[in-house]
A and B are shown apart, each in its own frame.
Chain A
Amino acid sequence: DGGITQSPKYLFRKEGQNVTLSCEQNLNHDAMYWYRQDPGQGLRLIYYSQIVNDFQKGDIAEGYSVSREKKESFPLTVTSAQKNPTAFYLCASSKPRGMNTEAFFGQGTRLTVV
C-alpha cells in the first residue's frame, strides 16, 4: 500500500540535544512538507520541498533543518536552537502541481522535551 511513514511515533529529547524525525513516502510525490501542531492550534509550516535537492523555509523554520537527497525521504532535524520543540510534527506529501491536489499525511511524531 502506498503512503507516508513517519518514525518514531513518540520521541523524547533532553534539552540541548538535536533529534531527527524520519518521513518516507512511496507515493511518487515530488512535494513534501513538514508542519508543527501545538495543542488547540492549527498546522504551521516549517519547511517544504518541491523537488529533490531543493527546499524552502516555511513560516517557522528557525531551529529546524531539513534535507531532500531522495525523492522518497524528507527528514527533519530539530536542533537545540529550537526553544520550544515539544509539539506534534506532521509530514505530508502531494503532487506538485494541478488543481485539487490534496496533501497526504503521515501519522505524526509526538516530540517531548524532558
Chain B
Amino acid sequence: RKEVEQDPGPFNVPEGATVAFNCTYSNSASQSFFWYRQDCRKEPKLLMSVYSSGNEDGRFTAQLNRASQYISLLIRDSKLSDSATYLCVVSRQNTGNQFYFGTGTSLTVIP
C-alpha cells in the first residue's frame, strides 16, 4: 500500500469555483503534514503546513483528520494562477524525518 494516496484528477474548474482535494496516508505514526504546489517543469514549493486544528491562509484551507488518516485542501474563489499540481506530503521522525509524497492532483482553472 502506498504511503500517501491522492486522486490524480485532473480537476478542470471555472474561475471563481471552489475545489477540494483529498489525500489519505497509511502510517498512523505520521507526524507532519503539508501541501506543496508544483508548476509544470518546476520544483515543488510549500503551499501550507497542515495542523491538527486545521488552518487557513487566504483562499486556502487545510484540514487534518488523524482518526481517518485523511488530509484535505480547499481552494475558494479559484484563480487562473492556481493552475498547478498539488502534492500531499507527510513525514515522520521514526524514519529519519523522511518525506512521503503523493503523486499529485492536477488542477486547471478555466477562464
Contact residues of A with B, CB < 8 Å?
31, 33, 35, 41-43, 45, 48, 50, 56, 58, 88, 90, 92, 94, 96-97, 99-108, 110
Contact = CB atoms under 8 A, between A and B. Distances in A.
Interface in B68-110: 87, 89, 91, 93, 96-99, 101-104
Contact of B43 (A99, A100, A105): A105
A56 B96 CA distance: 10
A106 B44 CA distance: 9
Interface string B36-66: 0000011111100101000000000000000
B25 interface: no
Contacts, number: 58
B43 A107 contact: yes
B34 interface: yes
Interface residues of B, number: 23
Given A42-B103, A43-B101, A90 B44 contact: yes
B31 interface: yes
B43 A101 contact: no
B96 A50 contact: yes
